[in-house]
Amino acid sequence: MSELRVALVGEGPTDGIVIKAALEIILEGNEFVLTQLQPEESRPFNAVGTGWGGVYRWCSQAVARAGGPIRHDPLFETYDVLILHLDADVADKNYSDAGIVDSHQDLPCARPCPLPSATTNALRQVILRWIAEPAIPPKTVFCTPSKSTEAWVLTALYPNDLIVAGGNVECYPSPDSRLQGKPKAGRVVSGGKKIREAYRKRAEEISNAWPAVAAVCSEARRFTDDVRATIQVQQA
């Protein structure tokens, strides 16, 4: 298999670090290059903003470029796979929270947790509307951690944390707050902010722990399965 070209559209740069760490294991040694189009490297595509609002705006611009469903976006001439990331806590938001005017009423769409998939499935329908698709298109993978990517980080780095050990980490509303309370040495969240360099330093730990994360977090398992299935289709 030649080097896989992966594009990522996500909420923030630390999400990209975690997703890249996961791909190191998911792709089982296959070489890949991950390019984060949104938010860090979005200038060529003129995306605007960060966070989930930035993902929304990027999707809108992609649909405009494609002249319809995102599967026709010219970016697929450059990239083999597009990963669209959106944390499940977005399901609690209103469009106005991100300064977006949208006539649809599909946000908020949160459902009781457990099951995490009740909310993530509803959110995936919202993303499908954003990209003008009836179902997830070829060469595209959704990444919808519940409640956020930090649930995966917490599980990877602190498997003995009471929330993780209790089996309810995907329903815990603020895993970032748990990370903020960890020992200063190696802490990845401090003062309410994610420390990018700390994420980078601990990326290998996250990668090594990914099988355990996928065993505990259903959305990590779904992401793993979806990436592998998408690659297998391309190799067939």
Q: What's the pLDDT score for residue 209?
A: 98
Q: What is the pTM of this model?
A: 0.95
Q: What percent of the chain has pLDDT over 70?
A: 95
Q: What's the pLDDT score for residue 234?
A: 74
Please check the confidence at residue 1 and state whether its pLDDT lies above 60: no
Facing residues of 206 across strands?
Answer: none
Mean pLDDT of all residues belonging to the chain: 94
Please check the confidence at residue 45 and state whether its pLDDT lies above 50: no
Please check the confidence at residue 11 and state whether its pLDDT lies above 80: yes
Chain segment 196-207, per-residue pLDDT in tens: 999 999 999 999
Q: What is the spatial distance between Cα 110 and Cα 108, in angstroms, rounded to a whole number? A: 6
Question: Could you count the other beta carbons within 10 Å of the beta carbon of residue 43?
Answer: 8
Can you tell me the mean pLDDT for 1-15? 92
Facing residues of 84 across strands?
Answer: 9, 142
Chain segment 123-169, per-residue pLDDT in tens: 999 999 999 999 999 999 999 999 999 999 999 999 999 999 999 99
Q: Are strands 189-190 and 193-194 parallel, antiparallel or unpaired?
A: antiparallel
Residue from 119, 136, 74, 110 nearest 218 by CA: 119
